[in-house]
Amino acid sequence: MKAKSSSIPLLSSILITFLPYLISSQTCQKTCGKIPIKYPFGTGPGCGDPRFQPYVSCNQQQLTFSTHTGCYIVTSIDYNNQIMYISDPTMSTCSCTQPSKGFSLNWDAPFSFHDDTVFALLDCSTTSSPIYKTSNGYNSTYPLCDSMSSFICSFLYSCEAISRLSLPISTCCVYTPVDLGPSFDIDLQKLQCTSYSALYGFNNQDTNPGDWKYGVALKYKFNFNNDYPELCASCEKSNGVCGYNYGPYKSFACNCPGGLNTTTDCFYGQSWSYSSRFLPWKIRTLSVFAFTSFIVLALM
C-alpha cells in the first residue's frame, strides 16, 4: 500500500504533463451563423490565422470585426477576391441620419480599405474644419475633397432623412481611403463633422441612393506574398480547419473533427484497406483512452 501511495504523485504529474498534448479543448467551426468561415479567419482562439484572430471573432453565431473605435457586424466575406464587408450601426444612410464618432482601422491590423470604399463626411464645419482650406490671398474656402463630391453629396442630400436637416451641400465632403493617409483614421471630432456615410457600390442605381450598398469594404492578404499556405490547403482537403497552437511561436495546427490538432492534416498515412483511411484524431483518442485506463489501473 505504501508503494502505491508513493506512486500517486508521480502518476499525477505524468497525467498533468501529457494530457494537454493529447486533448484539445478547442473545436474550430466552419460557419458562424450564415457566414462560411475559411482561412485566414476563425471562430475562436487557436482557429484561423493568429494575425486575424484578435480582430475577427464569432460571438453567439454573429461574426464581428473589432477595432479601437468599436465592434462591427461582418455582413459577408468574398473569399475569391479577399474582401470582407462590414456594417457600422452608427453611420448614416439614406434612410437614417445619426451622429457618429467615425471609423478607424488599427494600424497593425492585417486589413486596408478596399478601393471601392467611399466615405462621405456629413454636416462638416465650413469655417474651421481641417478638410477645408483658405485660399491664399482670398477670404473664400474650398473643400479638400474628391471630384466625386458633388455627385455623391447631391444624391445623399436628396434623401429624406438628410434633407430634413436642411444642411447646405457645402457641408458634405467625400473622402476615399487613399486621402486618409496611412493611419486609416476617420476622426469626425477632429474633422469637425457630425456624421458620415460609407458605401462600396452603387448597385447599378447611381442616381438612387436608397439602393446603394452601404458599409465598409476591407481588403486582406494571406501573407506578404499573398500565397495561400500549402499546409492549410492540405488540412482543408482532409476535412480539417486551419489553426495554430498556443505558445510564443503560434505554429500551424490542423484542427480535426473532435477538436484534436495535428501538425499536418487529418489523414493518417496510407490506407490500411481499400475502403477506409485512419484519422489521427481517432488514433489520438484511443491513445487518451489507453493512457487514462493505465493511470486508473495503476492507482487501484
Is residue 171 a part of any domain in this protein? yes
Q: How confident is the model at residue 27 (pLDDT cuts 50, 70, 90)?
A: confident
Say if residue 273 is in the same domain as residue 182: no
Say if residue 120 is in the same domain as residue 204: yes
> Residue 37: which of 48, 26, 46, 45 has the closest Cα?
48
Is residue 66 a part of any domain in this protein? no
Domain boundary among 148, 183, 212: 212
For residue 285, the enclosing domain spans: 2-27+231-299
Helices (H) and strands (E) in the chain, counts: 6, 19
Q: How many domains does the chain have?
A: 2
Say if residue 147 is in the same domain as residue 182: yes
Is residue 278 a part of any domain in this protein? yes
How, if at all, do strands 185-187 and 102-104 pair? antiparallel
Q: How confident is the model at residue 180 (pLDDT cuts 50, 70, 90)?
A: low
- The highest-confidence range among 94-103, 154-163, 211-220, by mean pLDDT, is 211-220
- pLDDT at residue 19, rounded to an integer: 43
* Alpha-helical segments (H) within 102-175: 149-156, 160-163
Of 236 and 277, the one with more pLDDT = 236
Torsions phi, psi of 166, nearest 5?
55, 45
Residue 103 in this model has a pLDDT that exceeds 60: yes
Question: What average pLDDT does this structure show over 211-233?
Answer: 93
Say if residue 201 is in the same domain as residue 97: yes
SS3 sequence of 180-243: HCCCCEEEHHHHCEEEEEEEEECCCCCCCHHHCEECEEEEECCCCCCCCCHHHHHHHHCCCEEE
- The highest-confidence range among 7-21, 133-147, 258-272, by mean pLDDT, is 258-272
- pLDDT at residue 115, rounded to an integer: 85
Of 119 and 1, the one with more pLDDT = 119
Is residue 121 a part of any domain in this protein? yes
Residue 290, all three cell numbers: 489507453
Say if residue 104 is in the same domain as residue 21: no
Report how far apart, in Å, the C-alpha atoms of 109 and of each of 65, 132, 221, 226 are.
11, 30, 11, 15
- pLDDT at residue 61, rounded to an integer: 93
